[in-house]
Amino acid sequence: MNLYSIRAIYIFEMSRTFRTLLQSVIAPIISTSLYFVVFGSAIGSRIQAIDNVDYGSFIVPGLIMLTVLVQSTSNAAFGIYFPKFIGTIYEPLTAPISYFEIVIGYVGAATTKSFSIGLIILLTSNLFVDVTIAHPVWMFLFLLMTCVSFSLFGFIIGVWAKNFEQLSLVTSLMITPLVFLGGSFYSISMLPEIWQKISLFNPIFYLVSGFRWSFYETADVAVHVSFIAVLAFSLLNLSLIGLIFKTGYKIKS
């Protein structure tokens, strides 16, 4: 494995984060703080505890997932789309580096960014509500796997996108709505039965449920089901990326 090439791609992508610190780090923290003010304080004070968990604390895992999913997808998508857009993608493609190593570099950087932001949001939430983590190892594992799986997904979106509009379209019209409908701010047991069944077809629902279980040991589905869902989504994305490089779909042309 060409570790030098992986390191070069990784450092280049990470350096972009420090050049856009306001957009990459500060903006998610501010937006999450506003969520706590509106949902945790204004609305949460009028909502009873859910599964014996204060509402302000209950939404913490959902808010972290919301930020992490958006950041993972957008960072990975932009990371591979921009070289493709300006034509520099041919440099790593013609270099003595495998496709797998290219993916590790780009996806590894996107995962690091989103994972770090997730931890920052977790620390920020302690300023507003009391947060208890019942299973720290599972919490870190779910967070890491979510970052990896959606960074892989973002890589696919970056290859597929024809313009910057399509990049933002996926986040605004697919990721964000699915997170809101995936139980980020509520338990699906509060929904009518028909909507509970519909929610089971939302893949992000399983991520939020498993992640919330690691905090408060309360979940809408069994934790092993959530774990399998994240793992299956990661393997699916890896398979699609392998197919992309094998066929050269929007990479070599």
What is residue 156's predicted lDDT score, i.e. its pLDDT?
94
What is residue 95's predicted lDDT score, i.e. its pLDDT?
78
pLDDT band with cut points at 50, 70 and 90 for residue 51: confident
pTM for the model stands at 0.89
Which of 238, 244, 206, 241 has its CA nearest to residue 225? 206
Do residues 187 and 210 make contact, with C-beta atoms less than 8 angstroms apart?
Answer: no
Do residues 13 and 106 make contact, with C-beta atoms less than 8 angstroms apart?
Answer: yes
Ranking 91-95, 97-101, 206-210, 214-218 by mean pLDDT, the lowest is 91-95
Average pLDDT over residues 163-180: 82
User: Residue 22 pLDDT > 70, yes or no?
Assistant: no
Residues 6+ apart with CB under 8 A from 53: 216, 218
**Residue 134 in 3-state DSSP?**
coil
Measured CA to CA, the distance from residue 166 to residue 160 in angstroms comes to 9
User: Residue 166 pLDDT > 90, yes or no?
Assistant: no
User: Residue 238 pLDDT > 80, yes or no?
Assistant: yes
Per-residue burial over 217-227, b if 16 or more Cβ lie within 10 Å, else e, is eebbbebeebb
User: Residue 134 pLDDT > 90, yes or no?
Assistant: yes
* Mean pLDDT taken over the chain: 85
Greater model confidence, 171 or 134 = 134
User: Residue 43 pLDDT > 70, yes or no?
Assistant: no
Counting residues of the chain whose pLDDT is more than 70, the rounded percentage is 94
**pLDDT tens readout for residues 175-224:** 888 888 888 888 888 888 888 888 888 889 999 999 999 999 988 889 99
Q: Is 38 exposed, middle or buried (0-12, 13-18, 19+ CB in 10 A)?
A: exposed
Average pLDDT over residues 140-160: 94
What is residue 153's predicted lDDT score, i.e. its pLDDT?
94
Ranking 15-29, 139-153, 157-171 by mean pLDDT, the lowest is 15-29
pLDDT band with cut points at 50, 70 and 90 for residue 163: confident
What is residue 41's predicted lDDT score, i.e. its pLDDT?
63
Count of positions (residues) in the chain: 253
